[in-house]
Amino acid sequence: MSSLTGIGGRLAVRLQSLTRPQVIVLIVVLAVVAGIWTAAATGHQGLAVSLVAVLLLGVLLGILHLSRWMGGLHRANQAAHRDLRVVVEQMQRRVVATVEKERVTAGDRHQELTRTITRGLRQNGHGNDLLLRAQSREIEAMFQLFAEFTPRAPMPSSGDFALNPTDLLELLHIVRLRRPQLVVELGSGTSTVWLAYALEKSGGRLISLDHDEDYAGKTREMLDAHGLSAVAEVRTAPLTELVADGKTYRWYDVEKLADVRDIDLLLIDGPPASTGPDARYPAMHALESRLAPVATVVLDDANRPDEQDAVRRWVENVAGLTAEPHLLGRHAVLSYSRSGATASVPA
């Protein structure tokens, strides 16, 4: 009884889920079946057979409709499958193109990196090569310096803040050739000792200015140790304001050279660049009037922009000042000749 109730329930649910055309077909089929049954029961054999034929025809038409519907469904399914395949292929192509693009970009980046590393290695090698050659030049110059002089005490180091051996070598060559009677040096240190040895030999004297009392004191001690205090003296000249070409600079107190005349050789190696821009430019403005009629001016660190600019402006503005070619080092050599004066090289 309960199973009958279950079957009835499920049947009711199925009937409720039928569409309107399905309900109409079902009612028509039930009506025809009822007609057959009634015709057969009431002895109308002909009508019953006719109704059976109509029912069979209906079933046949139903099967035909069903097969056409399923065929349509199959075609729609195939079309959807084709569309899906096209979409998948397009996506595959896009993925492959993206991967290929990334691969090419990564290849380019790799090549660029390799080129940069190779360039760096080459430059580094070139830099090392230049450094090695510069060191060889300085060592050769050092040998020549010590071949010319035999110091009476350990010599202070050259290079860094002090003049390089190549610069010292050419400076002492100038002293040997031109035999200056009075040398003024701006910025004391190792060069003061070497210059003093050269002047002791050639016959001349040196006045060195230093803005810093400590460095001035150290240089005085070195001169004492080498027995050169009679040849060279160090004067402390603190930096004070000095106006040159309408601009204010911090430069040595010129009063410290008030007694000085006829400088034959002027070595400009101070004040240090750290004291201000164009730190050495005022030198010619302050000391031109104290130069001998014919003199030589040597400027160290002439490879730096400030010093190159100073040389250019001096040559433009100071009458009788010309740049000379020089042999070695990083300094500039200039000759000064006051108008009407002629150079005389001592024998």
Ligand X SMILES: C[S@@+](CC[C@H](N)C(=O)[O-])C[C@H]1O[C@@H](n2cnc3c(N)ncnc32)[C@H](O)[C@@H]1O
Judged by beta carbon, residue 272 or residue 293, the one nearer ligand X is: 272
Position 213 contacts ligand X (CB under 6 A): no
Pick from 170, 200, 210, 288 the residue near ligand X by CB under 6 A.
210
Position 188 contacts ligand X (CB under 6 A): yes
Judged by beta carbon, residue 51 or residue 236, the one nearer ligand X is: 236
For 312, phi and psi rounded to 5 degrees?
-60, -45
Judged by beta carbon, residue 200 or residue 210, the one nearer ligand X is: 210
Distance of CA 60 to the CA centre of its chain: 88
Position 169 contacts ligand X (CB under 6 A): no
Pick from 35, 165, 270, 282 the residue near ligand X by CB under 6 A.
270
Percent helix / strand / coil, the chain, rounded to 5: 60, 15, 25
Distance CA 156, CA 193 (A): 8
Which of 269, 198, 248, 267 has its CA nearest to residue 228? 198
Judged by beta carbon, residue 48 or residue 267, the one nearer ligand X is: 267
Residues paired with 321 in a beta bridge = 336
Position 187 contacts ligand X (CB under 6 A): yes
Judged by beta carbon, residue 212 or residue 307, the one nearer ligand X is: 212
Residue type, 60: L
Position 162 contacts ligand X (CB under 6 A): yes
Pick from 170, 212, 288, 307 the residue near ligand X by CB under 6 A.
212
Pick from 161, 177, 304, 341 the residue near ligand X by CB under 6 A.
161
Residue nearest to ligand X (CB): 189
Burial of 154 from C-beta contacts in 10 A (0-12 / 13-18 / 19+): exposed
Position 272 contacts ligand X (CB under 6 A): yes
In three-state secondary structure terms, 252 is strand
User: Which residue do the tokens 């729609």 mark?
Assistant: 76
Judged by beta carbon, residue 166 or residue 188, the one nearer ligand X is: 188
Judged by beta carbon, residue 58 or residue 272, the one nearer ligand X is: 272
How many helices (H) and strands (E) are present in the chain, helices listed first? 8, 9
The full DSSP string for 162-207 is: SPPHHHHHHHHHHHHHH--SEEEEES-SHHHHHHHHHHHHHT-EEE
Determine contact, residues 6/32, Cβ cutoff 8 Å: no
Position 163 contacts ligand X (CB under 6 A): yes
User: Which residue do the tokens 């230049």 mark?
Assistant: 130
Q: Which stretch, 50-58, 119-127, 173-181, 208-216, contacts ligand X (CB under 6 A)?
A: 208-216
Judged by the rule CB under 6 A, the positions of this chain that interact with ligand X are 161-163, 187-191, 210-212, 215, 269-270, 272
